[in-house]
């Protein structure tokens, strides 16, 4: 029987524990010798990243058991942490281990033996990191090495290096830019390719595709730039032959697939106003994989498609799980990756393009309820304050056992994705379902600056961070209220990282929202510059493009920073912070929380030991969600069921 109860008070079968269990999932999927391999994040094991493969009989083998943790800190976001290497003794797995950031080698056929390190022990904790591992020449492991060379967070050097499977000092292959992807050896072993860029550009602003000849000792000579530039961003490169490369780049404003020859020739294989690539937040993502005979598996804004260069077309592949991770691998017409759908979290899949058969190699968490309790995202396009399109996904309150009293409108929360050069996708997020199943609507907004809509849309945020994102999100929230979908008196906003920035900036600059959840945020723009020293090297000059150069635009920095406008808060806030966060360190959240004490503004600040940027531990995810639900209850005026009451300070 359907019960009548106010929004926010519905009883839900989706617990915070269910959301925590779903908070892991597959990453870094690949193929080797017909076997599918992937890394797997496990919140119940403290966020440890395991390594798993399929056996010939279809069963799974955990190649890397506890306590090993296949994760690294390059750029603090990490990069591809493992590769299968062919050696005279057979295949071996090279992987980076979180605890010491060294590279280890393991025999997958003898997992009972302990992995052994093949990179030297660093002199300081996490002082040397490795990422984007690939097989190199002569059985070596080739990768990016990142070294901390000083006391400042920006004192970092990166080189392309080769590691012997026998151990010893890494051999430097090349050093070209302040930032690089991992090296890619040519099929004949005579050349090496990589992507490099320098500050103040970010990798979605402008990068260079570099190629150098290798001498007999495997050391690269002077490099040549074959594609890319200050306003062109190459985001993936692979060798097609000894003389040609395939690269995703955006000289015309859209990431398309190009063939780039060592002779300097460049050809777009299927010109289209579609994003076939994405932002390089992590090193080693793959948005395309060659299929042979002029065909390539590609991702068109997250959807799997086949690019046929003979007809210059890009055609979607019709599958039940429409959103694919940027970890494509292919062989003999079989494509593997992680994939998700509106009511399915990411699973490892194997697709045979010749038959259309899609096989799910991993399952979704057993605790998930009947899909009737899961919100199906509604794709909408709203109108921004200057008449521009603002795409969004609306997740309505969804629970077949409840409906609200006649005439009551639901509270709605704007979900702001991170980045800000990121995007929301129409897939199941159990964190969102935790709220919608209790009667709280959520709308995920792809504000100006999001990826997936071309460079022009992405650059709407240039020097406008804290303005365009705030206005776009507010426009969507206010439109939902105006059309009668949401209760205009009960609107909130939530986000983490750059989403935390937009949430905080919204609460200090517009009057749209009653309250905000702000997680591991940027709050002080000056502190988040290289001069301020409160962020990591990778993003230490990001705000130059997002806000403007400093100190030339110091007034702009002060005007937009929530840390300087705590007295203008439109309502209560909940702050969540990891104490080991190097990207958005706790210093800013500490200062913001301290500035609110005694102001009369209700607020709470929860800090979590052992968490970095983004929460990985099951107990943290549970505590954060329950606190957020209690917070909304107090802000929106309802009593949620089954969670402890969060104490708000004034």
CA–centroid distance for 60 within its chain = 26
Please check whether residue 527 lies inside any domain of the structure. Answer: yes
Please check whether residue 187 lies inside any domain of the structure. Answer: yes
Please check whether residue 129 lies inside any domain of the structure. Answer: no
List, for residues 201-217, the tens digit of each pLDDT value: 999 999 999 999 999 98
Enumerate the H helices of 35-89 as residue ranges.
Answer: none
Kindly state the average pLDDT of the residues 513-517. 98
Same domain, 281 and 394: no
**What's residue 432's pLDDT?**
96
Same domain, 392 and 519: yes
**What's residue 364's pLDDT?**
67
State which of 285, 311, 329 marks the end of a domain: 285
Kindly state the average pLDDT of the residues 321-328. 96
Decide: 126 and 580 in contact? Cβ < 8 Å. Answer: no
Evaluated on CA atoms 591, 597, 601, 602, the torsion sign reads: positive
Please check whether residue 620 lies inside any domain of the structure. Answer: yes
Same domain, 374 and 280: no
Same domain, 275 and 390: no
Return the percentage of the chain with pLDDT > 70, whole number: 99
Q: What is the CATH number of the domain that holds 375?
A: 3.40.50.1820
Tell me which residue of 137, 134, 125 sits closest to 98, measured CA to CA: 125
CB-based contacts of 141: which residues, under 8 Å, 6+ apart?
83, 85, 94, 103, 118, 133, 134, 135, 162, 163, 165
Same domain, 276 and 382: no
Domain count, the chain: 2
**What's residue 56's pLDDT?**
75
Same domain, 263 and 388: no
d(CA 346, CA 106): 27
455: pLDDT strictly greater than 70? yes
Same domain, 270 and 385: no
Same domain, 476 and 593: yes
Please check whether residue 342 lies inside any domain of the structure. Answer: no
Same domain, 388 and 481: yes
Consecutive H or E run containing 603: strand 603-608
B/e letters for 610-631, b = 16+ CB within 10 Å, e = fewer, are ebbbbbbbbbbbbbbbbbbbbb
pTM: predicted TM-score of the whole model, two decimal places: 0.96
Return the percentage of the chain with pLDDT > 90, whole number: 91
367: pLDDT strictly greater than 70? no
| pLDDT band at 23; cut points 50, 70, 90 | confident
Kindly state the average pLDDT of the residues 63-67. 93
Please check whether residue 431 lies inside any domain of the structure. Answer: yes
> How many helices (H) and strands (E) in the chain?
9, 40
State which of 285, 308, 327 marks the end of a domain: 285
Kindly state the average pLDDT of the residues 164-170. 95
Q: What are the DSSP E strand ranges found in 152-302?
A: 156-163, 171-174, 179-180, 184-185, 191-197, 208-213, 224-228, 236-239, 244-249, 256-261, 266-268, 288-292, 295-300
Same domain, 266 and 377: no
List, for residues 527-561, the tens digit of each pLDDT value: 999 888 899 999 999 999 999 999 999 999 999 99
pLDDT averaged over every residue in the chain: 95
Same domain, 275 and 380: no
State which of 222, 254, 285 marks the end of a domain: 285
Please check whether residue 94 lies inside any domain of the structure. Answer: no
365: pLDDT strictly greater than 80? no
What are the two backbone dihedrals, phi and then psi, of residue 338, each rounded to the nearest 5 degrees?
-95, 145
Whether omega before 200 lies within 30 degrees of 0, making that bond cis, reads: yes
d(CA 194, CA 216): 19
Residue 463: give the domain boundaries.
3-16+370-636
Please check whether residue 423 lies inside any domain of the structure. Answer: yes
């Amino acid at each position: 029987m359907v019960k009548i109860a106010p929004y926010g008070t519905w009883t839900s079968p989706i617990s915070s524990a269910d959301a925590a269990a779903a908070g892991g999932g597959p990453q870094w999927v690949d193929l080797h010798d017909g076997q599918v391999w992937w890394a797997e994040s496990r919140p119940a094991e403290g966020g440890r990243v395991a390594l798993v493969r399929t056996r010939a009989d279809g069963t799974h083998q955990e190649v890397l058991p506890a306590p090993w943790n296949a994760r690294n800190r390059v750029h603090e976001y990490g990069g591809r942490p493992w590769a299968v290497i062919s050696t005279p003794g057979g295949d071996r797995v090279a992987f980076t281990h979180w605890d010491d950031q060294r590279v280890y080698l393991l025999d997958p056929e003898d997992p009972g033996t302990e992995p052994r390190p093949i990179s030297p022990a660093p002199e300081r904790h996490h002082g040397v990191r490795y990422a984007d591992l690939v097989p190199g020449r002569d059985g070596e492991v080739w990768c990016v090495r990142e070294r901390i060379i000083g006391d400042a967070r920006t004192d970092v050097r990166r080189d392309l290096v080769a590691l012997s499977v026998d151990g010893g000092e890494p051999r430097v292959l090349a050093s070209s830019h302040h930032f690089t992807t991992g090296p890619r050896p040519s099929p004949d072993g005579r050349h090496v390719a990589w992507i490099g860029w320098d500050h103040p550009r970010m990798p979605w602003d402008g990068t260079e595709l570099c190629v150098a000849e290798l001498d007999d000792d495997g050391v690269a000579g002077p490099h040549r730039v074959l594609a890319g530039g200050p306003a062109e961003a190459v985001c993936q490169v692979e060798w097609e032959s000894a003389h040609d490369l395939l690269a995703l780049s955006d000289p015309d404003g859209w990431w398309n697939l190009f063939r780039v020859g060592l002779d300097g020739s460049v050809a777009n294989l299927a010109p289209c106003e579609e994003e076939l690539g994405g932002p390089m937040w992590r090193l080693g993502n793959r948005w395309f994989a060659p299929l042979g005979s002029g065909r390539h598996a590609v991702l068109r804004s997250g959807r799997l498609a086949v690019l046929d260069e003979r007809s210059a077309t890009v055609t979607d592949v019709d599958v039940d799980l429409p959103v694919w991770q940027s970890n494509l691998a292919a062989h003999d017409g079989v494509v593997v990756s992680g994939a998700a759908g509106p009511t399915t979290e990411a699973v490892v899949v194997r697709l045979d393009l010749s038959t259309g058969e899609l096989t799910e190699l991993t399952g979704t968490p057993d605790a998930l309820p009947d899909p009737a309790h899961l919100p199906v995202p509604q794709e909408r396009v709203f109108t921004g304050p200057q008449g521009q399109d603002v795409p969004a996904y609306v997740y309505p309150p969804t629970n077949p056992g409840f409906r609200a009293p006649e005439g009551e409108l639901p509270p709605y929360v704007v979900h702001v994705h991170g980045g800000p050069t990121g995007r929301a996708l129409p897939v199941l997020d159990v964190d969102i379902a935790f709220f919608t199943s209790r009667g709280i609507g959520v709308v995920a907004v792809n504000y100006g600056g999001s990826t997936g809509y071309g460079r022009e849309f992405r650059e709407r945020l240039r020097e406008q961070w804290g303005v365009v994102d705030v206005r776009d999100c507010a426009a969507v929230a206010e439109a939902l209220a105006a059309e009668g979908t949401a209760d205009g008196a009960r609107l909130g906003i939530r986000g983490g990282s750059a989403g935390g920035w937009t949430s905080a900036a919204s609460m200090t600059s517009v009057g749209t929202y009653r309250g905000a959840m702000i997680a591991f945020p940027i709050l002080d723009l000056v502190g988040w510059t290289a001069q301020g020293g409160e962020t990591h090297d990778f993003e230490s000059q990001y705000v130059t493009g997002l806000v403007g150069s400093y100190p030339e635009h110091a007034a702009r920095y002060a005007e937009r920073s929530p840390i300087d406008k705590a007295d203008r808060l439109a309502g209560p806030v909940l702050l969540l912070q990891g104490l080991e966060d190097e990207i958005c360190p706790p210093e800013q959240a500490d200062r913001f929380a301290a500035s609110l004490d005694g102001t009369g503004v209700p607020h709470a600040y929860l800090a979590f030991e052992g968490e970095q940027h983004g929460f990985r531990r099951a107990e943290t995810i549970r505590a954060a969600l329950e606190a957020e639900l209690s917070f909304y209850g107090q802000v929106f005026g309802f009593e949620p069921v089954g969670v402890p009451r969060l104490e708000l300070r004034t």
